[in-house]
Structure 1
């Protein structure tokens, strides 16, 4: 009787081992497919990241922060961030009541104010402006003087027309 119990236990243990081996093999093969899929996704994400980095570098090309030759004009002024300083000075023109004095249009819905600023180099700035409904862009020239004052000069402008 004891030998039969051991035989049944042995058969039962063998069946459990067989079950575990088969299910483990299926799980391993399923995991291999999942690993290959994830590796493919990682490669796609790596390519997408590289494309995004190239796009960012391309967008930063016309930027004072990345133009060492233009930044050299401001070495003697001891400014930590010339772009920030110039942007702040330009935004101060918004503080005046009414339309911004640099914008050659009168606001139709409210006063025209500057929104976005892109400092291209040591001489030019592109600015977006709006009154909440109508918008346009300016090309400004500027000069940062030794006394840290900034003179802005309107070079060109446009106002987008609404098409309904």
Structure 2
């Protein structure tokens, strides 16, 4: 009786070990396949987002080598680093928001009780800036020209401005 009990227990142990091995080996293969599929999807998503970001930043001073070369005149005393120029131009344009009548470079006169101020600025190249402005109720965009003068001051000129219809 003891021999048959040990035989049954041995067979049961071998079968349990066999089924456990098969289950775990299939689970590992399933997890590896799932990992490969997820990794492929994530790589595709990253590539798609990288492409979209490159397309969105096509018109920007950071990515426009011809516009960057405009600031490199060849002589060391007139060279302007565009990396340092971008925050300076943005800051100087946003400093005009402190004007009591609003930022004069929105191209719009004050309509209501609130003044127009510039919210976002994007420097497109060595000559153009696009900016978003609002007075809290009315929103618009403006296309500006900017110039870096010989004394390294920056001057702005409104090229075109538009207001969006007020949303109800």
TM-score of the aligned structures, taking structure 2 as reference length: 0.84
| 1:103-142 matched pairs, under 5 angstroms | 103=106, 104-108=108-112, 110-142=114-146
Change (3 A) 1:98 1:24: farther
1:1-164 mapped onto 2 (5 Å cutoff): 5=2, 8-9=5-6, 11-75=8-72, 76-79=78-81, 80-103=83-106, 104-108=108-112, 110-164=114-168
Q: Which moved more, 1:132-141 or 1:11-20?
A: 11-20
Alignment RMSD: 2.0
Deviation, 1:44, is 1.5
The Cα shift of 1:36 comes to 1.8
Tell me which stretches of 4 or more aligned residues in structure 1 moved more than 4 Å: 4-7
> Structure 1 CA distance, aligned partners of 2:111 and 2:90?
22
